[in-house]
Amino acid sequence: MGMLEAMAHGLPVVMTPVGGVPDVVRDGETGRLVPVDDAPALAAALDGILSDPGRAREMGLAGRALVDDTSRLDRVADRVGDVIQRCLQGSGDPGRRRPPTA
């Protein structure tokens, strides 16, 4: 299961801060970020989540809310992109300037 899928299911995640992960995983809020190649930090993060189910649930719910908000934003962006495409193609926009005919 991928990071976003886990978060969408309300599960806290433990990740390394590489690529875009820090933009999504907020350490201590939606999951835990641990340094790359740091097995003790990974073990401690996993132990912390497993030993405190209440806190794990809070992080999972925060992650779900974040992913839900992001997917709504993506849908809005897709719709705006569709409108722009239609306008550029000249469909559905009677006010669009058309090149003069010879």
Mean pLDDT of all residues in the chain? 84
Instruction: For Cα atoms 62, 59, 42, give the angle at the middle one, nearest 5 degrees.
Output: 135
36/87: higher pLDDT: 36
Largest CA distance in the chain: 77
Give the residue-averaged pLDDT of 27-52: 97
Task: Provide the pLDDT for residue 84.
Answer: 80
In the predicted structure, residue 88 carries a pLDDT above the cut 90: no
Specify the CATH number for 3-89; select among 3.40.50.2000, 1.50.40.10, 1.10.1740.10, 3.40.50.10490. 3.40.50.2000
10-29: pLDDT as tens digits: 999 999 999 889 988 999 99
Give the residue-averaged pLDDT of 77-89: 75
Structure tokens at 8: 């969408």
Residue type, 52: D
Domain boundaries, the chain: 3-89
50/79: higher pLDDT: 50
